[in-house]
Amino acid sequence: MSLEKWEEYGWLRAKPTSYNEIQNLLVIVNRDMEDAQGEVSTDWQFGIAYNAALKLCTILLRASGYRAASGDHHNKTIMTLPEILGHDWREDAEYLNSCRMKRNTLEYDYAGCATEGDVMELRTFLDRFRDAVLSWLDANHPEFK
């Protein structure tokens, strides 16, 4: 389904972005990827790494000229990933959605939810994902790089 169809359903709304917005989001991604390796609990490392992943999804969506509509915006932002990068990213969107649910659990329900393995898996994914987003920006929206 196209992003235009998502907008038609009310899940997204069109909103232009700017070079400054994309650059600020990239700074947050880099900060969070570094901070996720800090001396804090594995829960907090996971939450910080998840935030970096969400910001990368946000960059893709914002550069495409959209913003998630209010309500469930994390999920909507993540699930547009295969619409923007291609259907090969469908499993990655599902993985990030499972990270979103784990992050909600550790943030709101109980501590000790994320393991060191969870954190390492998400960090490894982030390295590949950031490279893909930057390549996509180069190819599709060099004005934002």
User: How many Å apart are CA 120 and CA 29, to the nearest integer?
Assistant: 16
**Residue 72: band (very low, low, confident or very high) from pLDDT cuts 50, 70, 90:** confident
* Model pLDDT for residues 38-69, shown as the tens digit of each residue: 899 999 999 999 999 999 999 999 999 999 99
Dump the DSSP string for 86-141: -GGGHHHHHHHHHHHHHHHHHHHT-SS---HHHHHHHHHHHHHHHHHHHHHHHHH-
CATH of 3-144, one of 3.30.70.260, 1.10.3190.10, 1.20.120.330, 3.30.360.10: 1.20.120.330
Q: What's the predicted TM-score (pTM) here?
A: 0.96
pLDDT for res 71:
81
Element (H, E) at 41: none
Give the pLDDT confidence of 15-33 residue by residue, as tens digits.
Answer: 999 999 999 999 999 999 9
